[in-house]
Structure 1
Amino acid sequence: MIDTGVARHPRLPDLEAGGDFVADGGDGVSEDCDAHGTVVAGIIAAKPQAGQGFSGVAPEARILSIRQTSALYDYANRQDRKPEDPPKGYGNVNALAAAIRRAADRHASVINISLVSCMPSGVSFSDGAVGAAVRYATLEMDAVVVAAAGNTDDNCKASNPGIDPLNPTGDPWNNVTTNVTPARYDDYVLSVGSIDQNGLPSSFTVPGPWVGVAAPGEDIVSLDPRGTGTITGKYVNQSLSPLKGTSFAAPYVSGVVALVRARFPELRALDVIKRIEATAHAPGEGWNPSVGYGAIDPIAALTAEIPRTLPPKRPADALSVRLPVPSPAPPPDNRARDVALIGSGSVATLLILGLLASFPIRRRFGVREDN
């Protein structure tokens, strides 16, 4: 886990220190000022506890914690800061690249990155070191790298457009307006978008041609970094804010990846990514930039037979099928109606004839009465 550190918690007994890129002398498990990393770690590996319905996706997993960022730290010797100014936060892409390599060199089988760096398209984005690091981790060290897709309500101010309805089969990479790292290195990274409880894309999830799958990112429950119980939110500016974000969708996927790696130890990293994507619940078009190949299905990921190849990350072509022309309906059978009408007409005719024939007979035999 590359995050804000993980606080030691009784439900995370298998926690290892991986280092600290934020504070001198830190080890990645001595503190989690932001609470973010502990929440992420709980989603992955919290042990079950009687009386509490929450537990991690892979409670037998071991967590290697590397602290790479914190919103509550600042750069040393910052000249523009006034005493009343809040910290700008600490963490950069070079430190992220170094953290990824460290996790890979420590033989992590899954590397969860619940943080992103965003840059508008067309602006120079010096994230080559991150790209090299995830390639090294995936291809050389056989680690599955799982990364959040990013949120529009934090440092990803803009959002990539969806599929162009006038050109639905166009290459979605041509429409990118916001680059997200490390998610955009999708040859080596499994990028995760967020969905709500109804399976719809969360309003804050950043779409992109790199999104692989989606997982729950709203109404989150996880471990309390300052206690022994669970939390559903944290205080921001003296108000309780619910836990939500692609940061919390990613560890759900990382937990499933850990289970798949235990179930299929022979699979290489890219094969594990393929299995997760192939068993997701795909949207109607087969893939879209908000949820990728769809919501993860842990049971299917552990049991299903999967195809040899996956379609590319773009909507499937529209199907055109010639439907057979239906045979004409048989003519209606009116025989019963005709017989009934003929019979009724015959009876009516006979009655009329009988009535008319009775008039001369009555006149012939009639009696005339005179007063």
Structure 2
Amino acid sequence: MRVRPTVRSATIASLLAVATTLSLGGVGSAVVPAPIDPGRLPGPARPAPLAPTEQRNACAVALPSTVEPNGPLPQRAMDFESVWPLTRGAGQTVAVIDTGVARHPRLPGLIPGGDYVSTGDGTGDCDAHGTIVAGLVAASTDPASGFAGGAPDARIMTIRQSSANFSEARRRDDPNDVQNTSGYGNTQTMAMAIRQAVDNGATIVNISEVACRPAADGIADQSLGAAVHYAATVKNAVIVAAAGNFRSGGCMAQNPGIDPLHPAADPWDSVATIATPAWYDDYVLTVGSVDPDGAASEFSLGGPWVDVAAPGTGIVSLSPDGTGETRSWLSGQGQQMPFVGTSFAAPLVSATVALVRARFPQLSAQQVIARIEATAHAPAEGWNPFVGRGVVDPTAAVTADLPDGAVAEQVFASAQLPNPEPPPSPDGRPRTVALAATAGIVTLVILGVLASLPLRRRSSRRD
């Protein structure tokens, strides 16, 4: 029912990235989806690190911002408020698998889902990331603020799966251990976190983290593939994943766009960078980032697995210190940096999924994904590797009159024109008549000349 296949990968990077210059990237190559092996699914277990960990760096600092009555640009662009009379996401549990989600008055009913980084319960956020993501999904409304989550009645389940500020207490160099950053978290802990989330009632799973590796290198992430397959097909959960940020973590080569000389070419044949879990396209709704003008953000990693897009800049959300709001954080060099990235586009789509699932509880996970894709604002070519089927439209996703199994078909801006009619055969009749008339006149002239010859002879004799 989806457009593109699945595969594998590694190098999860926390997507606290800054916009960088877009490059067409390295030479691509064909990638082959790794078959899903249900036997690689992690068994049920209490959340805990795979090895003893310790904090190595000071926690990130999110800077407080003034509460403003006007909604931030991403929320205005998505126009969630127009949907709230119909649905606010009640009854939906969105698991945020990230750096943890701090307790906040505007996240009532926060569910501690577990901690794979340390000994907590998932409600510690040392990286100022997971709380931002959770606020974009489900922050409750505040009369003094124009900011709120897209699905304010949904509940958040927090599972801390990664941190750039923690690492193994006795770190071993293992080439098969693909870390989130220089910190802690890998594809195995992500797979475990996904199972933990859906086994405990999550209907939607937001993963604003991605693992990247050059296509030529490949990666053994079969446990992660088994986990997203289990979540989507056995537990009927919608998995929403960030596409990844170009030049962040291991996402160092941009995947190419559509070749105008070969528009029908298979984009899987020219992949430069593979990203997981984003490329498990049969089971994951993968989200790219767009700028305020609707164009793909320069930092958004493309790929044949990108399904839709949402705003990934101008982000305002809840502060990880447990009070107020924030729109920027301090880097390790003391620079004030805005929150930008596909990390923050993904939760806007997760909020949309919560609205749709609350409005149409009879729809399966795949039908919800199909509805969101079918109602997105498609690019001129119908699909491209940076925005997928286009920018998500929550109002259309909730209100469009579509059959339950509707799947968006690629619609192209150009139309096939009929071949022109061949020109009619020339009519030779006028020429034939003219030639015949000319021939007749010439004949009469000749006959006249011949007839006049005897008369000339007689006249000459008389003379």
TM-score (structure 1 length as normaliser): 0.82
For residues 411 and 355 of structure 2, the distance between their equivalents in structure 1, rounded to whole angstroms, comes to 29
| Matching residue's letter, 2:234 | E
Which residue of structure 2 lines up, in the alignment, with residue 348 of structure 1?
Answer: none
1:58 to 151, 169, 176: 151
Which residue of structure 2 lines up, in the alignment, with residue 362 of structure 1?
Answer: none
Q: Deviation digits for residues 307-331 of structure 1, max 9, x if unmatched? A: 655356x785963214989xxxxxx
Q: State yes or no: 1:68 paired with 2:161.
A: yes
Distance 1:191 1:79, change over 3 A: closer
Which residue of structure 2 lines up, in the alignment, with residue 176 of structure 1?
Answer: 271
Higher relative contact order (CA 8 A, sep 6+): 2
Q: Deviation digits for residues 1-36 of structure 1, max 9, x if unmatched? A: 10000000110112010000000x21101x100010
SS in 1 for 2:167: coil
How big is the shift at 1:162? Answer: 0.5
| Matching residue's letter, 2:206 | N
For residues 273 and 322 of structure 2, the distance between their equivalents in structure 1, rounded to whole angstroms, comes to 38
Q: Percent identity?
A: 56
| Matching residue's letter, 1:121 | A
Q: State yes or no: 1:5 paired with 2:110.
A: no
1:256 to 352, 356, 378: 352
For residues 313 and 278 of structure 2, the distance between their equivalents in structure 1, rounded to whole angstroms, comes to 20
For residues 257 and 94 of structure 1, the distance between their equivalents in structure 2, rounded to whole angstroms, comes to 26
For residues 118 and 79 of structure 1, the distance between their equivalents in structure 2, rounded to whole angstroms, comes to 21
For residues 258 and 210 of structure 1, the distance between their equivalents in structure 2, rounded to whole angstroms, comes to 22
Q: Higher Cα Rg: structure 1 or 2?
A: 1
Structure 1: state its 5+ residue gaps: 81-86, 326-371
How big is the shift at 1:124? Answer: 2.8
Which residue of structure 1 lines up, in the alignment, with residue 375 of structure 2?
Answer: 279
| Matching residue's letter, 2:246 | T
Q: State yes or no: 1:310 paired with 2:412.
A: no
Which residue of structure 2 lines up, in the alignment, with residue 47 of structure 1?
Answer: 140
Q: Does the aligned pair in 2 maintain the 1:111–1:144 contact within 8 Å?
A: yes
Aligned alpha-carbon RMSD (Å)? 1.8
Q: Deviation digits for residues 37-91 of structure 1, max 9, x if unmatched? A: 00000000001112111000000011110000001111221378xxxxxx92100
Q: State yes or no: 1:191 paired with 2:262.
A: no
For residues 323 and 279 of structure 1, the distance between their equivalents in structure 2, rounded to whole angstroms, comes to 33
Q: Does the aligned pair in 1 maintain the 2:289–2:296 contact within 8 Å?
A: yes
Q: Does the aligned pair in 2 maintain the 1:279–1:306 contact within 8 Å?
A: no
Q: State yes or no: 1:107 paired with 2:204.
A: no
For residues 216 and 411 of structure 2, the distance between their equivalents in structure 1, rounded to whole angstroms, comes to 25
SS in 1 for 2:166: coil
SS in 2 for 1:116: strand
2:261 to 159, 166, 169: 166
For residues 20 and 173 of structure 1, the distance between their equivalents in structure 2, rounded to whole angstroms, comes to 35
Q: Does the aligned pair in 2 maintain the 1:121–1:177 contact within 8 Å?
A: yes
Which residue of structure 2 lines up, in the alignment, with residue 350 of structure 1?
Answer: none
Q: Does the aligned pair in 2 maintain the 1:143–1:269 contact within 8 Å?
A: yes
For residues 183 and 163 of structure 1, the distance between their equivalents in structure 2, rounded to whole angstroms, comes to 19
SS in 2 for 1:211: coil
| Matching residue's letter, 2:407 | L
Q: Deviation digits for residues 133-190 of structure 1, max 9, x if unmatched? A: 0000000000000000000131111110001111101111111110000000010000
For residues 302 and 247 of structure 2, the distance between their equivalents in structure 1, rounded to whole angstroms, comes to 13
How big is the shift at 1:102? Answer: 0.7
Report matched runs for 1:231-242 at 5 Å.
231-236=326-331, 237-242=333-338
| Matching residue's letter, 1:154 | S
Which residue of structure 2 lines up, in the alignment, with residue 329 of structure 1?
Answer: none
Q: Does the aligned pair in 2 maintain the 1:44–1:59 contact within 8 Å?
A: yes
| Matching residue's letter, 2:126 | C
Q: State yes or no: 1:222 paired with 2:317.
A: yes
Which residue of structure 1 lines up, in the alignment, with residue 121 of structure 2?
Answer: 27
For residues 304 and 283 of structure 1, the distance between their equivalents in structure 2, rounded to whole angstroms, comes to 19
TM-score (structure 2 length as normaliser): 0.66
SS in 2 for 1:293: coil
More deviation in 33-42 or 164-173? 164-173
Q: Does the aligned pair in 1 maintain the 2:370–2:408 contact within 8 Å?
A: no
Distance 1:309 1:317, change over 3 A: farther
1:143 to 230, 233, 237: 237
| Matching residue's letter, 2:402 | I
Which residue of structure 2 lines up, in the alignment, with residue 337 of structure 1?
Answer: none
Q: State yes or no: 1:205 paired with 2:311.
A: no
For residues 173 and 77 of structure 1, the distance between their equivalents in structure 2, rounded to whole angstroms, comes to 39
Which residue of structure 1 lines up, in the alignment, with residue 365 of structure 2?
Answer: 269
Q: Deviation digits for residues 82-117 of structure 1, max 9, x if unmatched? A: xxxxx9210000000011111111121000000000
For residues 305 and 174 of structure 1, the distance between their equivalents in structure 2, rounded to whole angstroms, comes to 36
For residues 289 and 194 of structure 2, the distance between their equivalents in structure 1, rounded to whole angstroms, comes to 23
Structure 2: state its 5+ residue gaps: 1-95, 174-180, 422-463
For residues 326 and 413 of structure 2, the distance between their equivalents in structure 1, rounded to whole angstroms, comes to 44
Distance 1:280 1:290, change over 3 A: same
Which residue of structure 1 lines up, in the alignment, with residue 447 of structure 2?
Answer: none
Give the number of equivalent residue pairs. Answer: 316
2:395 to 299, 320, 336: 299
